[in-house]
Amino acid sequence: MDSREHDALQRKQRLALLECISSEQMVVVSMISSITVIFILHHVICALAYRSKGRKVNDVNGRPPCPWRIPFLGNLHHLFLLKPLLEHQALAHLARQYGPIMRFYLGSRPALFVSNYAAAQSFFQANERHFASRPYFKFYDWLLYGHHNGVAFSSYSPRWKKMRRFCILQLFTPQRIMSSSKILEEEVALVVNDVCRLCKSSEDGSVSVNVAHLAHLVVSNIMGRLTLSKRMCDTHAHGETLIDMFKRTNDAIVPAMTDFLPPILGPVLDFKSKWRMIQTHKHIDAFWTLILEDRRGRQDSADACGDHWSHADFLGALLSDKEVMELGDDNIKATLMDILGAGSETSSITIEWAMAELLRNPGCLSKLRNELDKSCQQEDILHVPAHLSFPILGSRWARKHVLLSSSSPSLVSSSRFPSSASGTEDFEACTETTSSLRCPSYVSCSQVSQMPYLRAVIKETLRLHPPVPLLIPRGLSAPDEVAEQHGFEDEAILFLNAWAIGRDEEVWQDPELFKPERFINEGSNSSRSSSIMRTLPFGTGRRRCPGMPLAMCIMELTLAAFARNFAWEIPTIETQRTAELDMSEKSGSAGTHKAKPLEAVLRPRVVR
């Protein structure tokens, strides 16, 4: 190789080296630039947030104040800046700065948040009829049965009024609740009896349970028998329980970005969640279709024989009503999902919170037991149909979720579960042979209705821990007319922050303390407090939950049986003591649960 070629080769090597160094430098420079931009944006946002703290952004049209917002996100960044507060807590914090009626943009969609009692009262007196509908969200079509079926999410229309009136007459009147009291008492007594049997067979006379799942088992089985004459923990179509099906539905619920972001961005971000919800809906629809087909076949056979047992439950009433049938099967399926889903989840959440508060406040638990012991007989006999007297804690769902420990696993073996548990028979179709169930301390619906302290405990729990802190949003009934007349924006959504209203210092003395006595003691605020708690946790006005009377009866009966029949302890493996019980919250699609589920050791209590 001559010197000329050698020089050319060296030049090429130097150029290649310089290119490598340049590319590496470019990568480093690019990384530094990106970090610098993120750093600057972070500090700009924090500086703006600090400068805007406490500042109200008023509208020229006199609309409620609004926190500062940014393009596309609206005011959502405030929720991120206030982490780890949950959404309802963060909005209550913002309401202290911007007022009890606050405008808040969920992306590009305007919303109104009402956060104290006086504001809620004045606002609804003037505008409740305008906000009687429900806003439209995409997941209604993707996961559920649209915006015009059912009672919970349906728009305000004659169709909705008809279904709401039908549900009230068939399930929620005092006469209906009284006629259904035997079902409530049987399910509560059976669970209590099962737990007592497990305790007696264990080595130390106790059993450890997940309280939320135990309460959910009781409540869901009650609702299942009232609506379908089937327990929800029983296996139905596709070998799946109703509880499993509702869990699948709740897990699939994700807010659709299309509802809050511009049309270009929303569909791209929603692709995966939309596909998942559509697939879940297909599974849900097949589940309900099989149930309806099975019931129609049984009903036709029963009618041919002159037997009308199949009309005794809510589904039978739906299928035998001509006006309801004209609305279509999708409306029936949506209504069943609303009744079963909402009724089971919210009541079981409240029972868990109530037991947690009673364990944190032993004095309140002692007062409740004194009232129960005075009102109930020491031992009562409950006569139940023979086909019900089997261990319901033997069901697959209960074995998996309720029992945390038991030294006698054979008692919850599926081999002891009778064939009727497979869901092939309805309760009303079974024989009427009865057997006597000696419940340790049987509590009846008529007894709990005469216990003021028990009801006060439930009300105080609902005040501190509403199962749905931000009540289901409302939409404008006639957007064009109302928006122009009252200054609301066309797509405005109304949220009622029940969590913040329950802690309103202008209404409640010591709002953070658990004091059931506030609903019993006669005083200047007693009637006012009672009127608030009769409405807000269940909504208010035209959209108030129609199932409130039944829910209160179920919660009171279940809590009374749990408190009277068992001595409750926090497991010794926990480092926490009852006074330090973790009461933090966790948001979910079905309500606000305890962040750490309540686990307790239960022992049969000797009633004197």
Instruction: State what percent of residues in the chain have pLDDT above 70.
Output: 71
Alpha-carbon Rg for the chain in angstroms: 29
Contact predicate 598/212, CB 8 Å: yes
**HEC readout, 415-429:** HHCCHHHHCCCCCCC
Average pLDDT, the chain: 79
User: What tens digit of pLDDT does each residue of 14-44 get?
Assistant: 665 545 544 444 433 344 444 444 444 554 5
Beta bridge partners of 103: 112
Which residue, among 167, 200, 64, has the nearest Cα to 550 in the 3D structure?
167
What is the average pLDDT across 571-587?
A: 69
- Torsion angle, alpha carbons of 206, 209, 212, 218, to 10: -70
Closest CA to 550 of 183, 281, 292: 183
Region 145-151: what's the mean pLDDT? 92
pTM reported for the whole predicted model: 0.83
Q: Whole-angstrom Cα distance, residue 307 to residue 107?
A: 56
- Confidence check: pLDDT of 552 > 80: yes
State how beta strands 207-210 and 599-604 pair: antiparallel
Q: What single DSSP character describes residue 526?
A: H
Residue 474 — φ and ψ, nearest 5°?
-110, 155
At residue 481, the 3 state secondary structure works out as helix
Question: Please, are residues 238 and 287 in contact by the beta-carbon 8 Å criterion?
Answer: yes
The pairing of strands 403-405 and 109-114 is unpaired
Cα–Cα distances (Å) from 598 to 371, 576, 594, in that order, read 24, 12, 7
pLDDT band at 528 (very low <50, low <70, confident <90, very high): very low
Is 577's pLDDT higher than 80?
no
Mean pLDDT of 338-365: 93
Q: Which residue has the tokens 């979720």?
A: 401
Whole-angstrom distance, CA of residue 149 vs CA of residue 333: 9
User: What 3-state DSSP class applies to 112?
Assistant: strand
The superfamily in CATH containing domain 139-604 is Cytochrome P450 (1.10.630.10)
Q: What is the DSSP letter of 171?
A: I
Span 184-212, mean pLDDT? Answer: 90
Looking at residue 93, its pLDDT comes to 96
Nearest to 217 by CA among 55, 458, 402: 402
pLDDT value for 301: 82
Average pLDDT over residues 453-469: 94
Contacts of 481 by beta carbon, 8 Å cutoff, 6+ apart = none
Q: What are phi and psi of 66, to 5 degrees?
A: -140, 135
Closest CA relative to residue 318, chosen from 149, 132, 431: 149
Say which DSSP state 241 is in.
B
Highest mean pLDDT among 199-203, 304-308, 547-551: 547-551
How far is it, in rounded angstroms, from Cα 103 to Cα 99?
10
Report DSSP letters for 13-58, one per residue: HHHHHHHHHHHHHHHHHHHHHHHHHHHHHHHHHHHHHHHTTT--B-
Upper half-sphere CA count for residue 593 (Cβ side, 13 Å): 15
- Check the annotation: does 545 bind a ligand: yes
Cis peptide bond upstream of 84, omega within 30 = yes
What was the pLDDT predicted at 412? 32
pLDDT in tens, 384-442: 555 555 566 766 667 667 776 544 333 332 333 333 333 334 444 443 444 555 555 56
Predicted confidence at residue 202, as pLDDT, reads 87
Using alpha carbons, select from 19, 355, 402, 44 the residue that is nearest to residue 194.
402
Of all helices (H) and strands (E), which one includes residue 600? strand 599-604
Q: Return the DSSP state at 169.
A: I
The domain locations on the chain are 139-604
E-assigned strand segments in 500-555: none
Pairwise CA distance, residues 570 & 576, whole Å? 8
Q: Are 261 and 151 in contact (CB under 8 A)?
A: no
Q: Classify 538 as helix, strand or coil.
A: helix
How many Å from the N-terminal Cα to the C-terminal Cα in the chain?
A: 111
Q: Which residues of 237-254 are buried (b: 16+ CB within 10 A; e: fewer)?
A: beeebbbbbbeebeebbb
Tokens of 7: 């020089």
106: three-class secondary structure by DSSP:
strand
Task: Estimate the share of the chain in helix, then strand, then coil, as percent rounded to the nearest 5.
Answer: 60, 10, 30
pLDDT of residue 342: 84
Q: What is the pLDDT of residues 38-89, one digit of tens each?
A: 444 554 555 455 444 444 555 556 678 999 998 888 999 999 899 889 999 9
Residue 320 has pLDDT above 50, yes or no: yes
